[in-house]
Amino acid sequence: MLTEKGILPVGIEYGGKVHREFEIREQRVRDLVAVYDNPEVAGRAESNDAFLGLCILAGQVVSLGAIPPEAITPELLLDMTQEDFNELSNAARRLEERRKSFRGEA
């Protein structure tokens, strides 16, 4: 599994601490399926493409500081700054480019 590590410019507050280091993995079909299987987010994701993308991104995050993996949810990511969102999105794009290069798809 290919992953990309990075540091969020601002960080996400959780448990009284700011968490900045992250690791993200490449997107899988299961990330999209998991969104629609989750009754807490499915309806909103179905009617809001931006939220759908955020849900998929949350599923790709392997780690975010010391935040427990089960706490890395779309709701948590909704509170990040645009700067942090851009960094996570850029990391996902870099990872996709690495995957294509690694597999000779570029």
* CB-based burial, 5-22: b 16+ in 10 Å, e otherwise: eeebeebbebeeeebbeb
68 falls within a domain:
yes
88 falls within a domain:
yes
Residue of higher predicted confidence among 72 and 39: 72
pLDDT of residue 1: 84
Smallest Cα–Cα separation from 95: which of 15, 28, 21, 25?
A: 25
Identify the burial level of 62 via C-beta atoms within 10 angstroms of its C-beta, where 0-12 means exposed, 13-18 middle and 19 or more buried: middle
pLDDT of residue 103: 67
Q: What order of strands is seen across the sheet that includes strand 3-14?
A: 3-14, 17-25, 61-64
105 falls within a domain:
no
- What pTM value is reported for the model? 0.85
35 falls within a domain:
yes
Quickly state the pLDDT bin for 29 (edges 50, 70, 90). very high
Q: Is the dihedral of CA 49, 55, 59, 63 positive or negative?
A: positive
Residue 65 has pLDDT above 80, yes or no: yes
pLDDT of residue 74: 94
Q: How many domains does the chain have?
A: 1
Question: From residue 44, how far is each of 16, 52, 72 by CA, in Å?
Answer: 29, 8, 18
66 falls within a domain:
yes
The domain containing residue 48 runs over which residues? 3-98
User: Can you tell me which residue has the tokens 């960080």?
Assistant: 11
Stretch 13-42: mean pLDDT? 94
103 falls within a domain:
no
Q: In the chain, helix, strand, coil percent, each to 5?
A: 55, 25, 25
106 falls within a domain:
no
